[in-house]
Structure 1
Amino acid sequence: MKVNNFTLDSRDQVVTKVVREVLNLFKIETDCEDEYDWKTLDIVNNLRGDEYPVVETVISITDAKNQAITLSQTMAGRTDERFSAGKHRLIKLNLYQLFRKQFGFKAAPWGILHGVRPTKIVHRLLEGGLSRDEVIARLRSDYEASEEKAVTITDMAIRQKPFLARSDEKTISIYVGIPFCLSRCLYCSFPANILPDKAGLDRFMEVFHKDLAAVKQAVADYGFKVQSIYVGGGTPTSLPDEYFREMLTTVKEAFYGSDTVEFTVEAGRPDSMSAEKIKTMVEMHVTRVSVNPQTMQQRTLKRIGRNHSPEAIVTMFDSLREAGIPEINMDLIIGLPGEGVADIKDTMEKIIALGPDDITLHSLALKRGSVLKMNLEEYELPDDDTCRQMFSTAMDYIHKAGMKPYYLYRQGYMSGQLENVGCCRAGAESIYNIQIMEEHQTILGIGGAATSKVVNFRERRLKSSFNAKDLITYLRDIDIYIEKRAALIADAYGHL
């Protein structure tokens, strides 16, 4: 649907955001000057109520033939949700139901659940005393989530609870960001840089050591217990062998201790791997390596800028297994250009045959800054229905392999309005993945584009500090980022 003139009766940023989420969900475009289906679209939300919100939503539409349509719905919130959260939920729910009823739009798998971490809602409801079945019913009625998605995230949250219980106020994790890659993938919007020359690497390592030393000191000063270490990027294994060993040795010596139960390295792609790097990871007690083929289709790999073959993925996987790496996880992307259900079937058969411990399915997200987003007209992307069929097919293979979902997150502009979901065999759950998604634990970030998320347990809130995404800025302003991170830690833990 295209709209010539759109008005909303509020300038509140959150109200504007939630209304836009529903319009985007149904692909309703506004401010279309030349061709349009509706001349006007006006949305008014009337709020009343004291203990809980009551929202009346009125939608007025004038079509291209000057015919007027008025739709309205009033709904009341719940006493166990924050007033503002209830108000915003009701605005979305009213719009979602009115548009669906009037124009026959298909139900979205997630309904109005648009946030990155939908399982956080489940944890809140479980902590409020609701049973599994009551939580599922609430997700269905309050958010219009499908039965499948409601069951998935409820059972997922229940599965996560024992892992979250292992962490206390002093238990933290460490994220290490190595912002380099050997080449840039078509869909990538991450702040990764093509691997620099020796002088550039030396400068990065100099600053990296300074950044790491500051976090090492904080761990000592506050008596933190490091539960997990995650080395990501970029592609950390894009570093030359000697730099990779230096980086990983420094990280291990600084943070790996008796409380550490998980040490992960993103190895990404086979053209970045070497026998020496595998030897280094084994010596440094790395427990988990991420191998990210994205697809096992040769034509797609070439199209998205991956300079390796499916056979090289198999060789890399086998080498890691033979070296004794305890757990290997693999990432795949649903919705890549030119792919369909037959492609995901072939990819899943090849991946499952390897026997990974963990598989993460990513739904392609069209992000600003990616070559794909800037040149969409050049690529044939599968439509939403096809992406959902592909996702369902992949999940069938995962379930048959005995794996179950254990963490999940969503992003904007995802193919098929789907999600990214990690699945694993029993006992192979990544504690870091659970903690980063549920935000129950402080995670201190080191390196280019790294984020520190510091939990203030007294105030039950989380604050973040971001290292610069731009490498030049990170190198230049490292002292500023160290100070910001230190201030966050002091604010949350200074009383201890």
Structure 2
Amino acid sequence: MYRISVPDAKSRYRLAELANMFLRPSDYEFVIEPNPSASFDLIVGATAGSSNKQKQLVYDFFAQQTGRTLDWGILTGVRPVKLLAEMLQTRTLDEANALLREEYRVSKEKTELLSEVYRTQLSVNFDEAPPAVGLYIGIPFCPSRCLYCSFPSNVISREGSEKYLEALHKEIDAVAGRIETLGWYAESIYIGGGTPTSLNVSQLQELLRRISQRFITDRTREFTVECGRPDTIDKDKLNIIAQWGAERISINPQTMVDRTLEYIGRSHNAQQIRDAFSLAKTCGIPMINADLIAGLPGEDPKDFKFSLDQVLLLKPANITVHTLAVKKASRLIEEDQDYAYRTGAATAEMLADAGATLRREGYRPYYLYRQKHMAGNLENVGYALPGTESLYNIRIMAEDQSIIALGAGGISKIYYPEENRLERIPNVTNYEIYIERIEEMIQRKETGIQ
């Protein structure tokens, strides 16, 4: 076991996050020691300077000890494209990439990926923010819970969903009034979850009617409904989605391997995914995103390639390639605490193959984000055919626009461009508490949205 001295609890937390990318937690120990002795394998003192300097010390030590490097170096943040954009305010692209490689230890392949995503985003036109805002509406229900899931979603019930929607409708009306008073408008609207199409037909109809009538204007450029699981999709629901102006949906296979779908708790098979795509196209929905997950249990690179090839046959406008993130609240980590550590190399191969294949097929990477506990310390990348990039996805990662989030677990971020500052307005996560405290949630927005 490696023993490393650190000056305080904050440093221990920050550096342990980096160490986990090299080793199992049982293979190292960070000890808070103001006056460390020579018995430690590495001493990270308060005099090490900035947090980046401390990370560099630990990164270089573990890289030497293990013979491994990390593609993302010392970066542990969610938004590396935003970091690149900030660097480019005072540097050339070559200078920014050199800084990422030298100070942050990011690999050449990942700096090139960041540059490619950034260039794609430059080709997308955005409205001025404010008055343009993004709107997120959360539906925290699913038909069942997947093996890897840690999101605050709940198995749907009629009584629970009815009470939740009653509260959500109140919040929709209040927020619509507030942004109208300010002269703002919804540039993009995204209904996510959970699985929004786990609602029944009448519930979905009323929700979309209210959203359309309260938020959609002639300046609204994008309306997305995350359908998610194909077993929740039928012709009636898709017609309702199209009727109320949503031109984008997500149908998320995660994998096209039936044995994996069964193992991870998805209550559908690959053929249902194909059927859902066909049905959506007949209902006149022009843009479909498909999510795939690299690193699922029991899958190897051949399985992932099979899934990608099958999804490409469906011709979605967007394909988002996720790296499996093994969260503490998921059932997967209860079964295998070392899963993310063990599967890194195979997952990296899957992502590399996906990137090469999608570029050959005419897709280009347009947004990117990272999460904690990802297999191989990798990334999630959204690919799009030119002209089909999601404004909402780019905006939420760039954090250069107010995003107003409604529903349980929603965290609104109000952007003040003059100060380049965000103010958070959180809703409670538990949907039952959200229902009980809906008036408080509304009041938070009444005072916070300004």
TM-score range, shorter chain: over 0.9
Structure 1 residue 28, shift from structure 2 partner: 5.3
Structure 1 residue 99, shift from structure 2 partner: 2.7
SS in 2 for 1:293: coil
Unmatched 5+ residue regions in structure 1? Answer: 31-35, 47-57, 63-68, 77-85
Structure 1 residue 482, shift from structure 2 partner: 1.3
1:227 aligns with 2:187: yes
1:9 aligns with 2:7: yes
Say if 1:125 and 1:135, in contact at 8 Å, map to a contact too: yes
Structure 1 residue 155, shift from structure 2 partner: 2.4
Counterpart of 2:283? 323
| Cα separation, 1, equivalents of 2:55 and 2:365 | 27
| Cα separation, 1, equivalents of 2:104 and 2:377 | 15
- Please say which of residues 133-142 and 171-180 is displaced more in the overlay: 133-142
1:356 aligns with 2:316: yes
1:478/1:414 Cα in 2 relative to 1: closer, same or farther (>3 Å)? same
For residues 328-387 of structure 1, the C-alpha deviation after alignment (integer angstroms, 9 at most, x for no partner) is 110011111100011011111101111111111111111122111222279899621111
Q: Equivalences for 1:394-473 in 2 at 5 Å?
A: 394-473=354-433
| Cα separation, 1, equivalents of 2:193 and 2:102 | 39
Say if 2:23 and 2:341, in contact at 8 Å, map to a contact too: no
SS in 1 for 2:136: strand
Note the aligned Cα RMSD (angstroms): 2.6
| Cα separation, 2, equivalents of 1:75 and 1:141 | 21
For residues 170-208 of structure 1, the C-alpha deviation after alignment (integer angstroms, 9 at most, x for no partner) is 1101101011111111111111111112x3332122111
Give the letter for the 2:367 counterpart: Y
Counterpart of 1:82? none
Q: TM-score, normalised by structure 2?
A: 0.94
Q: Equivalences for 1:139-178 in 2 at 5 Å?
A: 139-163=100-124, 165-178=126-139
SS in 2 for 1:331: strand
Counterpart of 1:183? 144
1:225/1:100 Cα in 2 relative to 1: closer, same or farther (>3 Å)? same
Give the counterpart of 1:127 among 77, 89, 114: 89
Structure 1 residue 105, shift from structure 2 partner: 3.1
1:386/1:415 Cα in 2 relative to 1: closer, same or farther (>3 Å)? same
Give the counterpart of 1:284 among 232, 244, 247: 244
| Cα separation, 2, equivalents of 1:340 and 1:234 | 27
Structure 1 residue 312, shift from structure 2 partner: 0.6
1:201 aligns with 2:161: yes
Counterpart of 1:66? none
Give the letter for the 1:170 counterpart: P
| Cα separation, 2, equivalents of 1:413 and 1:241 | 37
| Cα separation, 2, equivalents of 1:96 and 1:189 | 29
Counterpart of 1:261? 221
1:481 aligns with 2:441: yes
Say if 2:79 and 2:398, in contact at 8 Å, map to a contact too: yes
| Cα separation, 2, equivalents of 1:410 and 1:25 | 13
1:137 aligns with 2:104: no
Q: Equivalences for 1:299-314 in 2 at 5 Å?
A: 299-314=259-274
1:339 aligns with 2:337: no
Unmatched 5+ residue regions in structure 2? Answer: none
Structure 1 residue 61, shift from structure 2 partner: 5.2
Give the letter for the 1:26 counterpart: F
Structure 1 residue 107, shift from structure 2 partner: 0.7
1:244/1:60 Cα in 2 relative to 1: closer, same or farther (>3 Å)? farther
Give the letter for the 1:258 counterpart: D
For residues 100-119 of structure 1, the C-alpha deviation after alignment (integer angstroms, 9 at most, x for no partner) is 23x14311010111100011
| Cα separation, 2, equivalents of 1:416 and 1:251 | 40
1:41/1:191 Cα in 2 relative to 1: closer, same or farther (>3 Å)? closer
Say if 1:383 and 1:416, in contact at 8 Å, map to a contact too: yes
| Cα separation, 2, equivalents of 1:318 and 1:265 | 17
SS in 2 for 1:25: coil
Give the counterpart of 2:79 among 117, 137, 147: 117
Structure 1 residue 291, shift from structure 2 partner: 0.7
| Cα separation, 2, equivalents of 1:380 and 1:42 | 24
1:241 aligns with 2:224: no
| Cα separation, 2, equivalents of 1:182 and 1:459 | 43
Counterpart of 1:98? 61
Structure 1 residue 233, shift from structure 2 partner: 0.7
Give the letter for the 2:17 counterpart: E
| Cα separation, 2, equivalents of 1:415 and 1:377 | 12
| Cα separation, 2, equivalents of 1:467 and 1:42 | 36
1:207/1:44 Cα in 2 relative to 1: closer, same or farther (>3 Å)? same
For residues 300-326 of structure 1, the C-alpha deviation after alignment (integer angstroms, 9 at most, x for no partner) is 000011111101100101111222212
SS in 2 for 1:107: coil
SS in 2 for 1:231: strand
1:183/1:72 Cα in 2 relative to 1: closer, same or farther (>3 Å)? closer
Say if 1:182 and 1:238, in contact at 8 Å, map to a contact too: yes
Counterpart of 1:80? none
Give the letter for the 1:188 counterpart: C
Structure with more relative contact order (C-alpha pairs < 8 Å, separation 6 or more):
2
Name the structure where strand makes up a greater proportion of residues: 1
Counterpart of 1:20? 16
Give the letter for the 2:111 counterpart: A
- Decide which structure has the larger Cα Rg and report it: 1
Give the letter for the 1:238 counterpart: S
Give the letter for the 2:156 counterpart: L
SS in 2 for 1:263: strand
Identity %: 35
| Cα separation, 2, equivalents of 1:91 and 1:43 | 14
Structure 1 residue 161, shift from structure 2 partner: 3.2
Say if 2:323 and 2:378, in contact at 8 Å, map to a contact too: yes
SS in 1 for 2:371: coil
